[in-house]
Amino acid sequence: MLGARRGRTYDRARLLEKAARARKRGRPAKAIACYREVLAVEPDNTDVLRRMARLLARARQAPEAWATYQRAAENLAKQGFRERAIGLYREAAASLPRESDLWIALAGLEVERDRPVDAAKALREGRRHFRGRRRRNDAMRLLREAHRLEPTDLLTACDLASVRARCGQRRAALELLEQQLRHHPHRRLRIRTRQLLVAPRPRIALDWLAALLRLR
């Protein structure tokens, strides 16, 4: 592709060659600059977006790396290459696991491919990267979506209930666990135990004791 760019001829091959040399010489900033020149003319060049996203991730420029990966994946999905887009999100997840939007996007594509089980699995995988008080909202976001896709999955429900309780949503946590009793009556003791951990109250303690005695 030829065109005018900043008073000189745009030469994609030359820019990509310069970027490759810069990468080999350990000069990621120079390579990224070359890729930016290409993308200024070809903003939807998925291959270049992917290469630049990798370098940005290695340079610990997470927000821009994620935005670049997202542009590339969305381009692929629009062209009908959803499997390739999923693969690109998987690549991004390896270096940017704490981008909650990434896991949501990955799950969305799995749903579009009619694979809700894989979508929920991806969300639970992503949730493991969000620990601690500061990331509770991200954890809850992923778990809520996973629970929506698999409402009878007990592990997801228990995890979501625990996170909700830590966010001050004890009533919602207890109600969620109560719903699981209808799906898993044979796991009554486990669910009552989780309720007791979520809200250690006398009534719940009695429910837990009743469940324990039923096993004897």
| Confidence tier at 27 by pLDDT (50, 70, 90) | very high
Q: Maximum CA pair distance of the chain?
A: 85
> Over 90: is that where the pLDDT of 36 sits?
yes
| Rounded alpha-carbon distances, angstroms, from residue 146 to 3, 70, 76, 104, 151 | 47, 21, 24, 10, 8
| Confidence tier at 216 by pLDDT (50, 70, 90) | low
Locate 21 and state its tokens: 């040399």
**143 near 123, Cβ under 8 Å?**
yes
pLDDT tens-digit map of 170-205: 999 999 999 999 999 999 999 999 999 999 999 999
| Confidence tier at 10 by pLDDT (50, 70, 90) | confident
pLDDT tens-digit map of 89-99: 999 999 999 99
- Which of 134, 127, 182 lies closest to 154 in space, CA to CA? 182
Locate 86 and state its tokens: 């999923």
**41 near 14, Cβ under 8 Å?**
no
Distance CA 142, CA 140 (A): 5
Distance CA 15, CA 69 (A): 20
- Write down the pLDDT at residue 184: 96
Lowest mean pLDDT among 155-159, 171-175, 211-215: 211-215
What's the rounded mean pLDDT across residues 38-44?
95
Which residues share a beta bridge with 9? Answer: 4
Q: Return mean pLDDT, the chain.
A: 93
Distance of CA 102 to the CA centre of its chain: 4
Where is 9: in which H helix or E strand? strand 8-9
Question: Which positions ≥6 away from 178 have C-beta within 8 Å?
Answer: 195
This prediction has a pTM of 0.88
pLDDT tens-digit map of 111-136: 999 999 999 999 999 999 999 999 99
Structural domains in the chain, CATH included, are 1-112 (1.25.40.10), 143-216 (1.25.40)
How many C-beta neighbours within 10 Å does residue 182 have?
8
DSSP 3: -
DSSP 59: T
- Write down the pLDDT at residue 3: 45
- Write down the pLDDT at residue 214: 83
DSSP 4: E
| Confidence tier at 5 by pLDDT (50, 70, 90) | very low
Q: What angle do CA 172, 215, 207 make, to 5 degrees?
A: 30
- Which of 4, 77, 82, 1 lies closest to 42 in space, CA to CA? 1
